[in-house]
Amino acid sequence: MSFLRPCALYKSFITFPSRRWMPCQSRGFLRWPGFDGFFRFLVIALLWSTFSEIRFIPSSSMYPTLRVGDRIIVEKASYFFRSPAINDIVTFRPPEQETGFGKDAVLIKRIVAKGGDVVQVHHGSLYVNGVAQNEDFIAERPSYTLELNYVPSGHVYVLGDNRNNSYDSHDWGPLPVENIVGRYAMCCYRPSNH
């Protein structure tokens, strides 16, 4: 029955020390993940889709912070525990009175004022409660003038970082907080041609 035994060359190939580390040598490598592995994957996928999403930046309204073509991760959980803060970059549904947006349209801007604040833009600077804001993240100083604008409770005032090329609160007024979808977490992809 010697013809049924593996040859010496085969034995030395399998037991050769440099081949032992290979994961395919273990039987566990070939098994499908069990129910618990599938359940873990399902829980992670549900949590990811519930509390975060990936968005595409279609315009230059947030330039230079975000560029056209960037893919960003938006997290939707933090505003369950805290209220929006100044300088948060948020995604939101446009206000009800604004036409020209689809039902599922989502915009992205920076919060510059909260409920109870007074906003004004003149001489190329943003003033919140009469204090000029130091904004080193904007593309250029605003070329428009905005008279005193009171932000009511339950609203925020949002502006794009590219102030002169952004459709934002200086056009439609304060944004209701309930329109906020989530907060910008990070840029996960930036096209190489920018």
Active site residues per annotation: 61, 109
pLDDT of residue 104: 81
More confident residue, 2 or 53: 53
pLDDT of residue 43: 86
* Domain assignment of residue 89, yes or no: yes
The parent domain of residue 117 ranges over 57-189
Q: What does pTM read for this prediction?
A: 0.76
* Domain assignment of residue 24, yes or no: no
* Domain assignment of residue 129, yes or no: yes
* Domain assignment of residue 194, yes or no: no
Q: Where are the alpha helices (DSSP H) in the chain?
A: 8-15, 35-51, 169-172
For residue range 91-109, list pLDDT tens digits in order.
Answer: 999 887 666 777 788 999 9
In percent, the amount of the chain with pLDDT more than 90 equals: 59
What's the total number of domains in the chain? 1
Q: Which CATH number is 133's domain given?
A: 2.10.109.10
* Domain assignment of residue 45, yes or no: no
* Domain assignment of residue 177, yes or no: yes
Q: Which two tokens stand for residue 60?
A: 């230059």
* Domain assignment of residue 96, yes or no: yes
* Domain assignment of residue 77, yes or no: yes
Q: Which two tokens stand for residue 76?
A: 């939707």
